Amino acid sequence: MTAPVFLIDDDKDLLRATGQTLSLAGFDVRPFSSAGEALAQLDETFPGVVVTDIRMPGMDGLQLFERISSFDRELPIVLMTGHGDIPMAVKAIQDGAYDFLAKPFPAERLVQCVRHAAEKRGLIMENRRLRSAERDGDDDGFPLIGQTPVMERLRHMLRQIADTDVDVLVTGETGSGKEVVAGALHAWSRRSGGNFVALNCGALPDQVIESELFGHEAGAFTGAQKKRVGRIEHSSGGTLFLDEIESMPLSTQVQMLRVLEMREVTPLGTNEVRPVDLRVVAASKVDLGQPDQRAIFREDLYYRLNVVTLTIPPLRERKEDIPLLFNYFARKASRRFDREVPIAPHAVLGHLRDHPWPGNVRELSHYAERFVLGLEPSEPVPAKPILPMGSSSLPDRLERFEADIIRETLTECGGDVQQTIAALGIPRKTFYDKLQRHGIVRSEYAERR
């Protein structure tokens, strides 16, 4: 069974026939003879589609549409209507109804319409679930989002050690979120009122990193025109985050080992020893516990740092968390670029599921930004088959040509009925007759606008 369908019609014969058509197509059909009965069982958590007749005693289909829209405007509602009610159905579509079916309608047209509506509802519900999970995981503004056991353990460990002064070594691949973990340790600790000072050891030349870390006095070396407070001293009372510590020069490692052991620093150009109160969080993209990966990194410094080690798994090992992170970054990008977050279509969800994400969280965040900006294809573009001459009759080829023109015009007009009719130069009734004959669902083009 696929999505549930609430089917409402006061005509018992039509209710039974329509329900049978949808049931044979695999839908979980729940028939109702009145709108009131169906409404009593509907709320914003309903995961399916509503298909309702317009003309019914008591509450009619349009009134039902208005009531449903009051608590969930994204619930797809398909209206079944006689010829005389088409103008009312068109107005309802402009107000947010998903689509309408003019009686009598082909069974395949009904199934196609409901199937598309169910797919849309599924995407809406999935995005709602992701937003809810994001809010649960995005504690204190840090995207430590994840429902996998490994992420739950990581958050638990962070909570356990955050308010202690123990030094921490964080390991993980490039882009996996090591600085986010360090930031969470700082934010969740009693040191959160102090400075969070970050330094990438691999981004600074050897002759600069020593001054950056330890500071210097005026005249300590050529070009040192004034006193500079180093990162270590500046982080006193807070947290010092040393990223890519495996890249730290050997000579600086010796000095850093003394800082960790004595909790004091001596700036360049002075003999004055200054006490510091800091917690060090170091990060490495290699396993420093393995001699072949440690290279020239001092073993004693590794063991001094390795009081507590936190390992962040790559995204490919926690695929269930990828949609949650994607939703977080998409919403963040929407605020940054002042754009609405589009509903993620199947092509995007498939990419999230199948891509190996070698750049981990950083790569995913960039993908989410491109998605919000409309730079990622929403659906794969199928190649149009080239039919050999004589493969079909002239009337058949003319029918396909006409359908293609209508689809192209709908696309150009963003699904707007008035503009499309004007561009095609045909009467409104002829337009809807052709939509029905060719099985074209107008609302699909409105969504692309």
- CATH for 1-137 (3.30.465.10, 3.40.605.10, 3.40.50.2300, 3.90.105.10): 3.40.50.2300
Residue that has been written with the tokens 């509907």 in this structure: 42
Residue that has been written with the tokens 């008591």 in this structure: 58
The pLDDT of 97-109, averaged and rounded, is 88
Structure confidence at residue 141 as a pLDDT band (50, 70, 90):
very low
Q: Which residues share a beta bridge with 265? A: 274
> For 81, how many CA atoms within 13 A lie in the half-sphere containing its CB?
23
Please tell me the distance from the alpha carbon of residue 315 to that of residue 294, in angstroms, as a whole number. 24
Q: What is the pLDDT of residues 336-347, one digit of tens each?
A: 899 888 877 778
User: Are the beta carbons of 349 and 322 closer than 8 angstroms?
Assistant: no
- CA angle, 417 then 418 then 424, to 5°: 85
Domain 146-313 grouped into CATH 3.40.50.300: yes
The pLDDT score that the predictor gives to residue 378 is: 56
> For 345, how many CA atoms within 13 A lie in the half-sphere containing its CB?
13
The pLDDT score that the predictor gives to residue 388 is: 46
Please tell me the distance from the alpha carbon of residue 256 to that of residue 259, in angstroms, as a whole number. 5
How is residue 334 written in tokens? 């929407």
User: Are the beta carbons of 177 and 361 closer than 8 angstroms?
Assistant: yes
Q: What is the pLDDT of residues 402-446, one digit of tens each?
A: 887 888 888 777 778 888 888 888 888 788 888 877 878 776 666
Break the chain into its structural domains and give their ranges: 1-137, 146-313, 316-372, 387-449
Please tell me the distance from the alpha carbon of residue 334 to that of residue 298, in angstroms, as a whole number. 45
The pLDDT score that the predictor gives to residue 390 is: 46
pTM of the entire predicted model: 0.56
User: Are the beta carbons of 294 and 246 closer than 8 angstroms?
Assistant: yes
Please tell me the distance from the alpha carbon of residue 167 to that of residue 278, in angstroms, as a whole number. 9
286 burial type by CB count under 10 A (0-12 exposed, 13-18 middle, 19+ buried): middle
How is residue 28 written in tokens? 């979980």
Q: Which residue has the higher pLDDT, 347 or 134?
A: 347
Please tell me the distance from the alpha carbon of residue 176 to that of residue 344, in angstroms, as a whole number. 23
Structure confidence at residue 375 as a pLDDT band (50, 70, 90):
confident
Q: Could you write out the DSSP letters of every residue in 363-404?
A: HHHHHHHHHHTT-S-SS--PPPP-PPTTSS-HHHHHHHHHHH
User: Are the beta carbons of 277 and 262 closer than 8 angstroms?
Assistant: no
The pLDDT score that the predictor gives to residue 414 is: 75
- The rounded percent of the chain whose pLDDT value lies above 90 is 38
Measure CA 45 to chain center. 20
- CA angle, 408 then 410 then 415, to 5°: 155
The pLDDT score that the predictor gives to residue 377 is: 66
Same CATH topology for 1-137 and 316-372: the answer is no
Phi, psi values for residue 50, rounded to 5°: -110, 125
Single-letter amino acid code for the residue at 20: Q
List % helix, strand, coil for the chain (3-state, nearest 5): 50, 10, 35
The pLDDT score that the predictor gives to residue 139 is: 45
User: Are the beta carbons of 309 and 109 closer than 8 angstroms?
Assistant: no
The pLDDT score that the predictor gives to residue 36 is: 92
Q: At what angle do helices 12-24 and 107-137 cross, to 10 degrees?
A: 70
Buried b (16+ CB within 10 A) or exposed e, 351-364: bbeeeebebbbebb
Using alpha carbons, list the distances in angstroms from residue 306 to 111, 372, 445.
61, 40, 58
pLDDT above 90 for 360: yes
Q: Could you write out the DSSP letters of every residue in 54-106?
A: S--SSS-HHHHHHHHHHH-TTS-EEEEE-GGGHHHHHHHHHTT--EEEESS--
- CATH for 316-372 (2.70.50.60, 2.40.110.10, 3.40.50.720, 1.10.8.60): 1.10.8.60
Structure confidence at residue 102 as a pLDDT band (50, 70, 90):
confident
Write the CB contacts of 45 (distance below 8 Å, at least 6 apart in sequence). none
Structure confidence at residue 134 as a pLDDT band (50, 70, 90):
low
Q: Which residue has the higher pLDDT, 294 or 135?
A: 294
Please tell me the distance from the alpha carbon of residue 61 to that of residue 47, in angstroms, as a whole number. 20
Q: Which residue has the higher pLDDT, 27 or 448?
A: 27
Structure confidence at residue 263 as a pLDDT band (50, 70, 90):
very high
Sequence length of the chain is 449
**Distant-in-sequence contacts of 86-91, Cβ < 8 A, 24+ apart:** 86/429, 86/432, 88/54, 88/62, 89/54, 90/417
Using alpha carbons, list the distances in angstroms from residue 113 to 99, 171, 333, 395, 425.
8, 50, 33, 26, 26
Maximum CA extent, the chain = 97
Provide the mean pLDDT of the chain.
84
pLDDT above 80 for 203: yes
Q: Which residues share a beta bridge with 31? A: 7
The pLDDT of 34-61, averaged and rounded, is 92
Measure CA 204 to chain center. 34
Q: What is the pLDDT of residues 293-320, one digit of tens each?
A: 888 899 999 999 988 999 999 999 998 8
pLDDT above 90 for 129: no
The pLDDT of 186-200, averaged and rounded, is 92
